[in-house]
Amino acid sequence: MEYWLMKCEPTAYSIADLQRDKTTSWEGVRNYQARNFMRNTMKAGDMALFYHSNAEPSGVAGVMKIVKAGYPDHFAFKPDHKYFDARSTSEKPLWYMVDVAFVARFAEILPLQQIKEEPRLKGIMVAQKGSRLSVQPLSEDHFKVICELAGVRKLP
DNA sequence: GCCAACGTTGGC
DNA sequence: GCCAACGTTGGC
């Protein structure tokens, strides 16, 4: 099983929205590196941190689970959709998405600042300068440390 | 809102 | 294949 960190601006979709919806599709990723992770590596059963970017404060907001591995992002096929991309077709899809399910919502956002200050999280990708990748792999240790810092003792 | 860092595009 | 121009991300 792999662990991930996935970013989203909470003004677009937040952990509260996922808590309400229970599951959602994670569409609109338009970066090749992130796409490769979703298409090639991510599997149902993997765990992921939900990261609020461009937020006050930015940081990890909760935990989710991958419930469907990578499949073609069909929003890219819809000409009127903001995620439309004419280069992507159902015969040769360019972009991929996954489905995720709500697992836990942190009582408080774990701010990026705190992640940077924690020695056990040294080297974590999200804390690196200029890290813009919206789907990042995460070590099991880092995943557990973040849950512990957020006060999540046992995941359901 | 600013802007640094990064990714993508396209002329050559 | 180089690289300047442009667009986007995301912390602050």
User: Taking Cα atoms as reference points, which of A51, A61, A59, A55 lies closest to residue A11?
Assistant: A55
Tokens of A55: 């937020």
Record the pTM: 0.95
* One pLDDT digit (tens) per residue for chain A, 156 residues: 999 999 999 999 999 999 999 999 999 999 999 999 999 999 999 999 999 999 999 999 999 999 999 999 999 999 888 899 989 999 899 999 999 999 999 999 999 999 999 999 999 999 998 889 999 999 999 999 999 999 988 776
Residue A31 Cβ under 7 A from any strand B atom: yes
* Four-point Cα dihedral A109, A102, A14, A130, nearest 10: 70
User: Taking Cα atoms as reference points, which of A47, A32, A46, A55 lies closest to residue A134?
Assistant: A32
Please report, rounded to whole angstroms, the spatial distance between the CA atom of protein residue A34 and the C1' atom of nucleotide B7: 12
- Chain A residues 107-136 with Cβ under 7 Å of strand B are 129-133
Nucleotides on strand B with an atom closer than 7 A to protein CB?
1, 4-8
